Amino acid sequence: MMNYQSVPTVVCFNKEELSDDEYKESLRKKYEGCGCECIFISAKNNSGIEKVRDILNGKTTVLAGPSGVGKSTLTNLLIPGMEDEQEVSQTGEVSRIGRGRHTTRHSEIYNVCKDTYICDTPGFTSLNLPEVEKEDLRFYFEEFNPFEGKCRFNGCMHVSEPGCAVKQAVEDGVINYDRYKSYTDIFEEIKNKKKY
Ligand SMILES: Nc1nc2c(ncn2[C@@H]2O[C@H](COP(=O)(O)OP(=O)(O)OP(=O)(O)O)[C@@H](O)[C@H]2O)c(=O)[nH]1
Ligand SMILES: [Mg+2]
Ligand SMILES: [Zn+2]
């Protein structure tokens, strides 16, 4: 979605110390065709933070993601001189209803270093795509691009049409199945929303 709007995007998986190599590999495989770099970090163990600094350097970056993934924890780590002081950005456990005590409630921008800014934002619990038409959704999945125009039908939406090159690529293991499943799930969601 971000790439589609020409916003350079990095997918950052935090809390890597809680994951095994196998799971990390499956995530890497899932997102390798999506057109974004994927990195694995742990704000808790301070691993991968230098990589994050390299990526942020000289840019203004927005941290976006579900509630509780550690956006504010990472922000606090990146702000100079704050290691031993009171936290800049509030962090905390997320309660069962998904809105924890220290959950971030407003977006705030922080200076990391010269010309480098980071914006911590409130986490989301679901993704709302009001402006995306189901006919356009396929263009948001970069890994489908090489197969666009190769299906039997013009304007194939890669869902139930016969002779679909994207579905063939999924069967051949060229397109990640989970990503394709996300596509069809979101496609159905948009379709049903439009109906009512
Ligand atoms: N195990 C582990 N826990 C972490 C890590 N980073 C953050 N946490 C914990 O995850 C919880 C949520 O962290 P936050 O930084 O508040 O998460 P957030 O993404 O800012 O959440 P919202 O503000 O609700 O969007 C806190 O208890 C953190 O201590 C990590 O690398 N590993
Ligand atoms: Mg937060
Ligand atoms: Zn198709």
Q: How far is the CA of 134 from the centre of ligand 3 (A)?
A: 14
Answer whether residue 131 shows pLDDT above 50.
yes
The predicted structure's pLDDT at residue 82 = 59
Compare 52 and 91 and report the one with higher pLDDT.
52
The predicted structure's pLDDT at residue 6 = 86
61 CB less than 6 Å from ligand 1? Answer: no
Please tell me the pTM assigned to this model: 0.83
43 CB less than 6 Å from ligand 1? Answer: yes
Neighbours of ion ligand 3 (CB under 5 A): 151, 156, 158, 164, 166
Kindly report each contact of residues 5-13 with a partner whose C-beta sits within 8 Å and lies 24 or more positions away, as own/partner: 9/35, 9/36, 10/36, 10/37, 10/38, 10/39, 10/55, 11/36, 11/37, 11/38, 11/39, 12/38, 12/39, 12/40, 12/41, 12/52, 12/74, 13/38, 13/39, 13/40, 13/41
Ligand closest to 71 (CA) is 1
The predicted structure's pLDDT at residue 168 = 98
What's the pLDDT tens digit per position in 68-105?
999 999 999 999 765 544 455 666 554 444 444 588 88
